[in-house]
Amino acid sequence: MDIAMISNYSSCAQKLNVLIEEIKKHIENNNQLIALERMQDNLIHNQFVLVVLGQFKRGKTTLINALLGGEILPTGIAPMTSIITIIKYGKQLKIKVFAMDWEKEIPLQDLPLYTTEANNPKNEKNISHVEVEYPSSFLLQGASIVDTPGIGSIHEHNTKLTHSYLPNADAAIFLISPDPPITQIECDFLKDIRYHVAKIFFVHNKIDKVTADECEESIAFSRTVIEKIIGSPNIVMYPVSAYNALAGKLHYDAETLMKSNLLPFEDQLKIFLMTKKGLQICNNIINKLLTIVREELLIAQIKLKSFAISLQESEEKSLRTLNLLKETEQQRMDNVYLLNGEIRQLQSFLLRDIEQLKQNKMQPLLRELLLLYDMNKNQKSITLGKFLENCMRSYIEEAFSSWIIEEGKRLEEMLTAILDRFAIRMASLHERIISLISRDFDFSLDSYIQKQPIKAEINLIFELDEIKIHLEELTELLTRLLPRQIAKKLILQKAIRQAEMLFDKHCGRARYAFSQKIDQIASEFGILQENIIKLASERILQTIQMITAEKEHSTQNAVLEEAALLNKIERLNTINAELVDFSGQVAGAV
């Protein structure tokens, strides 16, 4: 294992913390001081959400216990986990249960009362989730591990709960095992999660239960299936025995731990956690620091240059600055107008796609109902009604489930491009303000357009259980009141009308859900970008007005103030150069 790679995030975070502390010495603005403290907090609590997924009884909870090095979460023969359990680093074991309207701390022995199907069937206690703090060295790396209910058991609500948590995942561990190899349920689940999770680690658990040859055969079969599903060749499969790994750690048995094959997998997890995710956080913080430092440099330079100008010149520069900021305010509003226009266009694309979905899928559904009717019209009316109902449900579920995922990806790409263009326009405007004001005060700052990676994430999970069809009651009524052939034709007509109604209903739901998400993301991002311009403009204007006011009351400490400003500018320039250099190094690593 490359220790240097693992220390990358720690080294970056440490260096950034030192730079932030140095920057704070030269910052007077309270909002910027708060922003700097938040950055430090983000570096300290670099939480990476690692979700453990898989079919029930694949050994997910045992694997988590093995990674933690302790028997923390309950395990058993029957499907156990029924509640989302989040495990984070803490100096000592602490467990807190969160319900819909209360929360409380519990001892370890009470954990199964809330998280297992046996003690909390169908989540009758209305538990939202459970948070566990534990002093594990693995968690110290900045990850939180999430234990999810297993898919594919008789408890269907568990599968839905796991689906609903996917948008929160930064990465996932997907467990399979040789008893049996990957199943159709797991294949279907993997098709869903591949669009919601950027990084998936595939773990082949329970290698202690089979021979070496059987293990190889199972891994080869599962790898072939998975590669076909995700469309990526040469996936890495980690064969482990979570049971032996946990036993080895609990009993300090190095030989058993080594045979479990967990350590190589742990190493790869740590490398991933401490490089890609951590460095991305560092990269974002560096860009924010550059903005703060350059703004502070601008203010300091304005103050320094003010010592060499008269009161009249100061008043003239103040007026020019005010006019410039009014002009840039109009440009800011123009940028927002352009953003809103592009968002409206994106919404129109969504409407077009929904209409296309109707054209592509509605007629085939009606043809399928007619074909099914012709093939089964000699069946009893009740049987015919059930056939039509099942056909309708499965068709709509399949059509919308796949479409929602593909449409979400397409809209994400388009929205990301829109926000990226808006961010560049706003950054250029911010740079123009700095450039023109610095030129007016006869100094220069190196141009730097802040460019942070933008990713608009639209995560929608289609609720299949909302598809409700009620043909059966009508079938029974018509069968009692009408001749068989007439009743059957009326059942078909009703099925067709209901199919059209249900399809329209789900198109409306999809349109509303996507529209709301797009508007929310665009609004939040727009406000964030606007505030950068507004706060900078307000601060620049206040500084120049303050300088003008001070000119009217000459100070005896001008020499000392000028020396302090020169020292501040020198140090900020040094920090700025360090950040620019550091930014290039980290961006290259990301």
Q: Tell me: the pLDDT tens digits for 332-355? A: 889 899 999 999 999 999 999 999
Average pLDDT estimate for 483-502: 76
Average pLDDT estimate for 101-112: 89
| pLDDT value, residue 560 | 75
Q: Which of 244, 267, 266 is nearest to 257 (CA)?
A: 244
Under the banding of pLDDT at 50, 70 and 90, the label for residue 393 is confident
CB–CB of 418/283 below 8 Å?
A: no
| pLDDT value, residue 555 | 53
Under the banding of pLDDT at 50, 70 and 90, the label for residue 262 is very high
Domain ranges of the chain: 48-260, 337-553
Phi, psi of 45 (to 5 degrees): -105, 55
| pLDDT value, residue 95 | 92
| pLDDT value, residue 5 | 37
Whether residue 107 has pLDDT greater than 60: yes
Q: Tell me: the pLDDT tens digits for 144-196? A: 888 887 665 444 544 556 666 666 677 789 999 988 888 888 888 887 776 56
Helix (H) or strand (E) holding 266: helix 262-272
Cα separation of 434 and 421, whole Å?
Answer: 20
| pLDDT value, residue 63 | 93
Of the listed ranges 84-98, 250-264, 525-539, 559-573, the one predicted with least confidence: 525-539
Under the banding of pLDDT at 50, 70 and 90, the label for residue 247 is very high
Cα separation of 90 and 144, whole Å?
Answer: 11
Average pLDDT estimate for 403-419: 86
pTM given for the model: 0.56
Average pLDDT estimate for 220-241: 87
DSSP letters, 299-360, are: HHHHHHHHTTS-HHHHHHHHHHHHHHHHHHHHHHHHHHHHHHHHHHHHHHHHHHHHHHHHHH
Under the banding of pLDDT at 50, 70 and 90, the label for residue 7 is very low
Q: Which long-range contacts (CB under 8 A, 24 or more apart) does 520-523 make?
A: 521/415, 521/419, 521/456, 521/457, 521/458, 522/339, 522/340, 522/343, 522/415, 522/418, 522/419
Phi, psi of 124 (to 5 degrees): -65, -15
Residue type present at position 561:
E
Helix (H) or strand (E) holding 503: helix 484-551
| pLDDT value, residue 467 | 47
Range of 302-306, 412-416, 428-432, 437-441 with top mean pLDDT: 412-416
CB–CB of 492/374 below 8 Å?
A: no
State the chain's mean pLDDT as an integer.
Answer: 80
| pLDDT value, residue 457 | 59
Q: What is the dihedral of CA 101, 105, 108, 111, to 10 degrees?
A: 0
Q: Which two tokens stand for residue 128?
A: 């939202």
Residues whose CB is less than 8 angstroms from the CB of residue 120 and which lie 6 or more positions away in sequence, other chains included: 82, 83, 113, 114, 127
Q: Tell me: the pLDDT tens digits for 83-93? A: 888 898 888 99
Cα separation of 3 and 9, whole Å?
Answer: 11
Comparing 197 with 497, which gets the higher pLDDT?
Answer: 497
Residues whose CB is less than 8 angstroms from the CB of residue 74 and which lie 6 or more positions away in sequence, other chains included: 61, 80, 81, 111, 112, 115, 116
Residues whose CB is less than 8 angstroms from the CB of residue 470 and which lie 6 or more positions away in sequence, other chains included: 498
| pLDDT value, residue 1 | 36
Number of H helices, E strands in the chain: 16, 9
Of the listed ranges 34-38, 264-268, 448-452, the one predicted with least confidence: 448-452
DSSP annotation of 274? I
For residue 49, the cross-strand partners are: 144
Helix (H) or strand (E) holding 288: helix 278-306
Residue type present at position 172:
A
Between helix 30-44 and helix 278-306 the angle, nearest 10°, is 160
Of the listed ranges 150-159, 216-225, 353-362, the one predicted with least confidence: 150-159
Q: Tell me: the pLDDT tens digits for 59-89? A: 888 999 999 988 888 775 444 556 888 898 8
CATH topology of domain 48-260: Rossmann fold (3.40.50)
Cα separation of 452 and 334, whole Å?
Answer: 22
DSSP annotation of 456? -
| pLDDT value, residue 133 | 92
Of the listed ranges 223-232, 275-284, 321-330, 354-363, the one predicted with least confidence: 275-284
Helix (H) or strand (E) holding 132: strand 127-134
Q: Tell me: the pLDDT tens digits for 425-474? A: 888 888 888 888 888 877 766 654 454 545 555 555 445 444 444 555 55
CB–CB of 130/96 below 8 Å?
A: yes
Average pLDDT estimate for 116-133: 83
Average pLDDT estimate for 306-332: 83
DSSP letters, 181-246, are: -S-HHHHHHHHHHTTT-SEEEEEE--GGGS-HHHHHHHHHHHHHHHHHHHT-SS--EEE--HHHHH
Average pLDDT estimate for 316-321: 82
Cα separation of 97 and 113, whole Å?
Answer: 11
Under the banding of pLDDT at 50, 70 and 90, the label for residue 6 is very low
Average pLDDT estimate for 215-229: 89
| pLDDT value, residue 465 | 42
Comparing 239 with 494, which gets the higher pLDDT?
Answer: 239
Q: Which of 533, 507, 521, 511 is nearest to 342 (CA)?
A: 521
Cα R_g (the chain), whole angstroms: 31
Q: Which of 283, 277, 292 is nearest to 582 (CA)?
A: 283
| pLDDT value, residue 315 | 81
Comparing 197 with 118, which gets the higher pLDDT?
Answer: 118
